[in-house]
Chain A
């Protein structure tokens, strides 16, 4: 009896549950202690939340690129973080020129639209080139192969941009019209955060409508369901894949500008961390699932901005913000272990994972 019971429990399962329980315990204890100590005011907590949502919407925009490509090709487009970087980095030169000529100040709205256009165009160009050169010839290869080319493409792009534009940080010009913030009682939101959240929401809404209600969107969904059957139904699979890359890259380019006006700094290496975070967000929401990427992005942003203080401050960890990436990665591991289908994903069997 005992023997059979022991046989049924897997050693790995136990280990997993122990790790999971320990982490959840740590989080709960940490949160209670932090709240009990009460070192932070409501206003500060609200600031963290708003910052988290703004950050999360940028993650969500990048995550959509991962999710769209994964949904169709079942591969992680590792170079997507460089697609994001390339747009923002290239648009810097336009921003700089417009700031110097005074155009940015005189026609802020048009100037920002131009920046978006440049960044999105550059990102689309990079995304399409990567697809054409590094991924398309490998459609039928074993899965490890395109993943390795993707890593190669990512490094190639990073260091190409380093060679082209130099390795210093470039400071984006400050946009005068976006200074200041709105306050309502304890609730405080900067104008930049409003712009970020609103434009991300508009883009995501546009994408959702496009995928759900247009013919191309329908074709995309069909290809992601089954490429071969879609081809039999008269869908040009390659064209749809290119279009998917275009959309994903355009969103990444837009995210690049939002990132740049928030943090006002660009560099050839800037894509790496947001890229991994966005991937985490995509997995969190259920990879291949468009609303999932949005929810996952916001959730991760919140978790990352509130988490370090809430979980770790009470445990007397010095400088908890240094560990925010650890928290994000741990979250990724936990999600993959306990709910590999993500928050909104429903059927992600092992054939996809």
Chain B
């Protein structure tokens, strides 16, 4: 973008508007608008689909009206309005085209209901198009005005709007969580729409927006004073405060399945399994910098080891019938062995080649599980059924709410291990390899053992996750272990921040939790992951919760210009 600053402002505004319009047409044609239209943000007023389009116009107008600091206001307003107008006109073009010829022959999502959304359910096309253009321009104009608002207020308003939208989206989560407290949940019922899929009510949205904005404003203006007072407390009290926070978090995690009910516990369990895998891959990719695209192989091996060892009956010849707790160490051991065995051949291979080779390994494992060749032992495409659930003192833990504790324990152990490893001798060796393999070797780091340890530790977490997954579902099929799982895990550690432990948790919550809660998202999950990976790498390669060292490393190239690959 920096090369284009010498263009005239209106050309730039038109260009931005065209890009925005193309994006708007694209999200309409791939069905996102229509599928998001099912869910209301504010009951009866505005849907998620409309919010998506609105957000597009706002984003692109914001960028086109940003200018430099001394850009005069009229120019900003004109840029914003022009961008909004152009974006709107491309959407209008889509409607006109759709009315003229049947786009549905090619684009499956160019359905009548899409046009209905784009024309605001207006029968008369001309009026609808006028509305579309005017709305675009007005929104663009209003967006440009944002630049005039003082920074503190701007931030407060934006976070107010964001939180209100988030609460509207996640209202299911709130409502289910509040069911054990009928009194309380009744008293805030007015905040939400009356039917299931509806978000906040108009009043609710207003209240949330005002409260959040006010809180944000005060925390921005007075927050420093409060934080200063906390910092002035004696060290003992501060430590006690911190421990109380941790204690509260722990207590919350323990009682969570009781509040959450089976559905949300199930969602938490999926998140937990991905946190486990994320922690494992984080060691391989985040700590040691070895890009592994076949991570699903270890997950699969853990699951299949657990399945073969504990299955009761079924088609396969294995007949071990161990319990979950007996099989668990063996499953982890199996994954670790696989990690070492797969690790040895790829020790000398770096970077891109490593990515492709590990991807190949992941596929090899899946194809082997699927093949007729191993069918007598692993069940081929029918998989393995009747896997024993974990037991605790004789009671099987086979409901989501009880399994939650097994997964929580696994996550805590893995977190502890990953945390302790991070700054240990081996952890520092991993980081050294990540930064420069040759220098690390010159410093006396044994590349063989260090890399193999990274693969083995990563594999252990993956195997643990897979083993729990197998007994959670009580069946395993080769189709559960496709490349997409690896990509999913990779995306979550990249979004969270490579090498950062809280990043893994945040990443899993965002990329696994959100799509589970919002069915509309899950359809476009991989598309959104793709965009996320690109956007994160372009703007924030260190992730949302970056690890300090890694951040420094990634921004090194901003100052020093070494030719890539040399």
What is A's interface to B at a CB cutoff of 8 Å? Answer: 10-12, 15-16, 19, 73-76, 93, 133-134, 137-149, 151-160, 162-166, 227-228, 272, 276, 279-280, 283, 317-319, 322-323, 325-326, 329-330, 332-333, 336-337, 340, 350-353
Q: How large is the interface on B (under 10, 10 to 19, 20 to 34, 35 or more residues)?
A: 35 or more
Cβ-based interface call for B392 (8 A): no
Bound form: Cα–Cα A332–B373 in Å: 22
B88-119 Cβ-contact flags toward A at 8 Å (1 or 0) = 00000000000000000111110000000000
Query: Does B564 sit within 8 A of A, measured CB to CB?
Result: yes
Q: Given A76-B356, A141-B541, A165-B107, check contact A317 B364 (CB 8 Å).
A: no
Within 8 A of A (CB), among B350-379: 350-353, 355-357, 359-361, 363-364, 367-368, 370-373, 375
Once the chains bind, are B351 and A145 in contact (CB under 8 Å)? no
Can you list 23 A-B contacts (CB < 8 A)? A12-B448, A16-B344, A73-B565, A76-B356, A140-B561, A140-B562, A143-B352, A144-B289, A144-B351, A152-B533, A153-B530, A153-B534, A159-B524, A160-B26, A162-B30, A163-B524, A272-B483, A276-B360, A280-B360, A318-B373, A323-B371, A323-B373, A329-B360
- Asked if B468 CB lies within 8 Å of chain A CBs, one says no
Whether B108 contacts A166 by the Cβ 8 Å rule is yes
Inter-chain CA distance A163–B29, complex, in Å, is 7
Q: B152 contacts the other chain (Cβ, under 8 Å)?
A: no
Residues of A within 8 A of B483 (CB): 272
Q: Are B345 and A227 in contact (CB under 8 A)?
A: no
Q: Which residues of B contact A154 (CB under 8 A)?
A: 530
- The one of B29, B31, B526, B541 in contact with A155, judged by C-beta atoms closer than 8 angstroms, is B526
Contact flags (1/0) for B525-558 with A, using CB distance below 8 Å?
0110111111001100100000000000110010
Closest A-B pairs by Cβ, 8 of them: A163-B30, A152-B533, A156-B530, A74-B565, A155-B530, A329-B360, A159-B527, A166-B108
- Inter-chain CA distance A352–B353, complex, in Å, is 10
Q: Which residue of chain A has its CB nearest to the CB of B356?
A: A279
In whole angstroms, what is the CA distance A137 to B535 when docked?
11
Question: Quick check: is B291 within 8 A (CB to CB) of the other chain?
Answer: yes
Most buried by A among B291, B364, B529: B364
Q: Are B355 and A163 in contact, CB atoms less than 8 angstroms apart?
A: no
- Known contacts A141-B541, A163-B30; decide if A158 and B526 are in contact (CB<8 Å): yes
- Complex Cα distance A147/B291, Å? 9
- In the bound complex, CA of A279 to CA of B353 (Å): 10
* Complex: chain A residue closest to B368, CB-CB: A326
For residue B41, give the distance in angstroms from its CB to the closest CB of chain A: 22
- Contacting residues, chain B, for A137 (C-beta < 8 A): 538
State which of B349, B371, B527, B561 has its C-beta within 8 Å of the C-beta of A156: B527
What does DSSP make chain A's interface, helix, strand, loop or mixed? Answer: helix
B352 and A165 contacting across the interface, CB-CB below 8 Å: no
CB pair B345–A76 under 8 Å, yes or no, is no
A145 — which chain B residues lie within 8 A by C-beta? 537, 541, 554
Contact of A164 among B29, B357, B538, B541 (CB under 8 A): B29
Given contacts A134-B534, A146-B537, A152-B529, 10 further A-B contacts (CB under 8 A): A73-B564, A93-B106, A141-B554, A143-B565, A147-B351, A160-B26, A164-B109, A323-B367, A323-B368, A336-B357
Structural contact, B554 and A142, CB atoms closer than 8 A = yes
What is the CB-to-nearest-CB distance from A276 to chain B, in angstroms, rounded to a whole number? 7
Say whether, besides A164-B107, A326-B367, A151 and B533 are in contact (CB < 8 Å): yes
